[in-house]
Structure 1
Amino acid sequence: MSEGPTPLPCETEELHGLFLFEKLTPEQLDRLCDEGTVERHPTGPVYTEGEPATCFYVLLDGTVVLSRRVGADDVEITRTSQPGVYAGAFQSYLGDRVPQRYNSSLRVTEPSRFFVLPADAFAAVMHEWFPMAVHLLEGVFFGNRTAQQAIGQRERLLALGSLSAGLTHELNNPAAAAVRATASLRERVAGMRHKLAVLAAGPYHRDTLAALVGLQERTADRVAKTPALTPLEATDREDALSDWLDEHGVPDGWQLAPVFVQAGLDTDWLDEIAATVQEGALEGAVRWLNYTVETELLMNEIGDSATRISDLVGAARQYSQLDRAPHQNADVHELLDSTLLMLGGKMGPGVTVVKEYDTTLPRIPAFPGELNQVWTNLIDNAVAAMRGAHREDDPDQGRLTVRTARDGDHLLVEFADTGPGVPPEIRDRIFDPFFTTKPVGEGTGLGLDISWRIVVNKHHGDLRVARAEPGDTRFQVRLPLTPAEPDAPGTPQPSEETP
């Protein structure tokens, strides 16, 4: 059996010498000694995170270490030998309105003495001796929690509004292109019907018309496989086609040449037309096939626009996770891509996005919708920082690099930007609730706080600033590759308890 705490006499003079109790009256000190105890704890744990919070501990002498669980690891928060530091059930005055559990683990590195007050006794003296202070503390605690929930909701609504505006902008471009192409297609089809009537009434033999129809089919097939040309190659081909048309008596050939070049056609194709029709019918055949080329190009444009709209809708569904289970094995790269696509309109053309993905990484157990909120917050902060730092006369607002890699038994996601960095004096505060460097009305100060809670509390991962220098700021998210233990408790913010 392990050695337990040893009870010792309680001396009011010793309690009076502690900063926590120095303003108490002798009667109050006597009551503390009557209701509490002094205990010597051997080296080892005093209490463990997640257990019911039954006692309030005040260090008399020795050394204590306060730690919190992050995933499977205990992360040391504080180590001190200062007499009077306290930990444990110091929120017991709130009663059953909040869960009364230890928010951390406390251990001693050498035999140490504590003044120990049961939680119900601590709550009673707080209410009797400091009624106004208790009301104020309750107001601060619950008011802060309510404000945090309200502003957190506001933060999510602002992000949703921003994403909706960006999605609307992104959808508008291909939709407008499809509308324009449809109107043009209607005109071209009408022209093609007219030209077909002219051809049918012209001096064409049945075999010639059949050959033209076959040529039309081959032309349409070529348009669907248009090669990519450099601007110089396209100009040279336009000149060659214009010259050919002029030489063969087709007027205004310079107007037809760009369409043929766009479709990937050349003078060999024109030679094939000339060999198919009789002399004097070349112009009609060329213009009829021009309508074919234009209609194929317009249908390609409509198809590309519809595909773009479909991709955006798919990205929106991936981002929102509306049709997915809240917790699932997720592909982090799919989540990152959908978020980047959703934020594309907001980032604008001045931000260059570089993806450095390790595509061999496995799917991980996660809450995808909430991870997308983390990516949104981190990307939005990076873009805002770069936009605020660039010169107005410089269209290049910066570079955002999104990198994934394996880091031991975790998956690493890193967001690096070329913004101004984070000043050293505020680096320890950026994850605090309501802290923001943005102008009034532009930030709530909860983006990083919410992100921290999602990554650490919900996914048992880690979120940190790895580098914060001008031109190179890096936020890193580490997520477990395997599921956390079913009973692993969440981890509170570091600011919630300090010994």
Structure 2
Amino acid sequence: MTDTVRLSPEELRTLFLFEALDEDQLVWLSERGKVEERAGGSVVYAEGEPATCFFVLLSGAVSLNRRLHGDDIEVSRTDQRGVYSGAMQAYLGDRVEQLYANTLRAVSDATFFVLTADEFATAIREWFPMALHLLEGLFFGTRAANTIVGERERLIALGSLSAGLTHELNNPAASAVRATAALRDRVAGMRHKLALIADGRVDGTRLHGLVELQDAAVKQAAAAPPQTALGAADAEDELADWLEEHGVAGAWDLAPAMAAGGISVPWLATVEDTVGEAYLDSAVRWIAYTIDTELLMGEIDDAVTRISGLVGAAKQYSQLDRAAQQTVDVHALLNATLTMLQAKIPQGVKVVKDYDPDLPGIRAFGAELNQVWTNLIHNALDAMDGTGTLTLRTRKEPDRVLVDVIDTGSGIPPEVRPRIFEPFFTTKAVGEGTGLGLDISHRIVVNKHGGDIRVYSEPGTTRFEVCLPITPEPPEEPSVAPEGPGD
């Protein structure tokens, strides 16, 4: 059994956490704390376990991790001597549940100064009674405020995104409903006209030819090129005139659908030759219903495809069915965010996508990056006040990907520019913003992705530049059995 290794008061004073303590306090810590080592890759303590010890890093590198929806997310990584973690709230006693709030891992072989939670709590209570009251007030007050503000912010964000998504879904859904109702009427009309044509008075040869013309009309409608408004009007006039001349009732009602399906006057003449003048009215209506049916089915298909695309964009935006960190397509994330914010983009704002086609995928937390894009685009739209150009630009450098969010608003005043990433700092009116959007974006880009976020602004142009490193796929690591805090 090895002897317990301890630090001398002089060694403890070299740690920034203890440098202001007096000699007696350092001696007290020296007698009660001990030095422990952890092998690289091991777990120093695990999230959710009883918080029994307070750890101060003496050497090596460590990472802090949190569990979120079953995924292990690295919050920070450091090798700075003197950083601390563990039973941080021991001074609160049994007023809060004493559990580790995160998981501490030794990235490399690491050495710690370890103090039990009870002894750490005793030192705080006895040495800093006034600070203890301030910390208690700060902890409970901040927790209550964060709970209220956080719930409100989440509800507002959810309501805003839900409103935007439902607004976008409403248009194709309503279009599909209208087209389905119209399709039902057209199919009923087709059945009626088919009965008139096929009542036995049309010989089989002509009926067979009419069916072939129907198939040809379907193919022609599917391949019909889009027309200009003037070209469509001219085609409708020509068809309606021909139909009226040949005694077809309701010619001006039939012409628009036939023109949209690419039907021409010579083609109608072929129909007359096939069925004869006596059955021309019923045959033309039957074919018109056929074309209209195809166009309506195309409209329904387009509406359902748009709905499917919106649902896909929502899944891409939320990243709910994806791992926390994975190789992501930055363009897909930007497009999903634009789709989710489409209802918030005013008619007077033009959106320009200047994407690098050779942009590589990057290892990233997709949902968090979508939060960054949301914050930056939302701020850009606010800055333009309903009129301007929003530009999303991507480009690649040797070891990183750059994403620019550019607006043509009034710009950020030079005197406030250094503070825009500070928490709770906002230039918006009271109640209009929390001042957390850019702070959260900065922490996501810098702390979680090891990147950088910068701002360049002058009247008429503001550009937020997000730099994200291009990192290779991590090798699979062998599983390591967790180790609890040492005794």
When normalised by structure 1's length, the TM-score is 0.70
Q: 1:350 to 1:289 in 2, by over 3 A?
A: same
Taking the aligned partners of 1:92 and 1:256, their CA distance within structure 2 comes to 78
Candidates 206, 212, 229, aligned match of 1:231 = 229
Q: Which amino acid aligns with 2:230?
A: L
Q: 1:91 to 1:426 in 2, by over 3 A?
A: farther
Q: 1:429 to 1:443 in 2, by over 3 A?
A: same
- Counterpart in the other structure of 2:279: 281
Candidates 307, 312, 328, aligned match of 1:309 = 307
Taking the aligned partners of 1:73 and 1:166, their CA distance within structure 2 comes to 40
- Counterpart in the other structure of 2:213: 215
Structure 2 counterparts to residues 66-81 of structure 1, below 5 A? none
Contact kept? 2:353, 2:393, Cα under 8 Å: yes
Q: 1:96 to 1:480 in 2, by over 3 A?
A: farther
> Aligned pairs, how many?
397
- Counterpart in the other structure of 1:479: 468
Deviations 1:86-118 (A, max 9, x none): x9789999776799xxxxxxxxxxxxxxxxxxx
- Counterpart in the other structure of 2:420: 430
Deviations 1:7-58 (A, max 9, x none): 9xxxxxxxxxxxxxxxxxxxxx9x858879xxxxxxxxxxxxxx9468xxxx
Deviations 1:225-253 (A, max 9, x none): 22111112112211221222223232332
Q: 1:461 to 1:72 in 2, by over 3 A?
A: farther
Taking the aligned partners of 2:141 and 2:403, their CA distance within structure 1 comes to 35
Deviations 1:147-204 (A, max 9, x none): 4575345434322221111111111111111111111111111111111111123742
Shift of 1:361: 1.3
Structure 1 unaligned segments of length 5 or more: list them: 1-6, 8-28, 37-50, 55-69, 75-86, 100-118, 391-396, 487-499
Contact kept? 1:413, 1:477, Cα under 8 Å: yes
Taking the aligned partners of 1:484 and 1:155, their CA distance within structure 2 comes to 35
Contact kept? 2:56, 2:82, Cα under 8 Å: no
Structure 2 counterparts to residues 55-134 of structure 1, below 5 A? 131-134=129-132
Taking the aligned partners of 1:174 and 1:260, their CA distance within structure 2 comes to 24
Taking the aligned partners of 1:138 and 1:89, their CA distance within structure 2 comes to 22
Shift of 1:135: 2.5
Q: Secondary structure at the match of 1:425?
A: coil
Contact kept? 1:328, 1:367, Cα under 8 Å: yes
Q: Which amino acid aligns with 1:213?
A: V
Q: Does 1:419 align with 2:409?
A: yes
Q: Secondary structure at the match of 1:281?
A: helix
Shift of 1:425: 2.0
Shift of 1:461: 0.9
Q: Secondary structure at the match of 1:355?
A: strand
Taking the aligned partners of 1:482 and 1:193, their CA distance within structure 2 comes to 63
Taking the aligned partners of 1:187 and 1:440, their CA distance within structure 2 comes to 56
Taking the aligned partners of 1:485 and 1:296, their CA distance within structure 2 comes to 51
- Counterpart in the other structure of 2:248: 250
Q: Which amino acid aligns with 1:159?
A: A
Shift of 1:142: 6.5
Q: Percent identity?
A: 58
Candidates 331, 339, 357, aligned match of 1:341 = 339
Candidates 344, 356, 360, aligned match of 1:358 = 356
Q: Which amino acid aligns with 1:420?
A: S
- Counterpart in the other structure of 2:435: 445
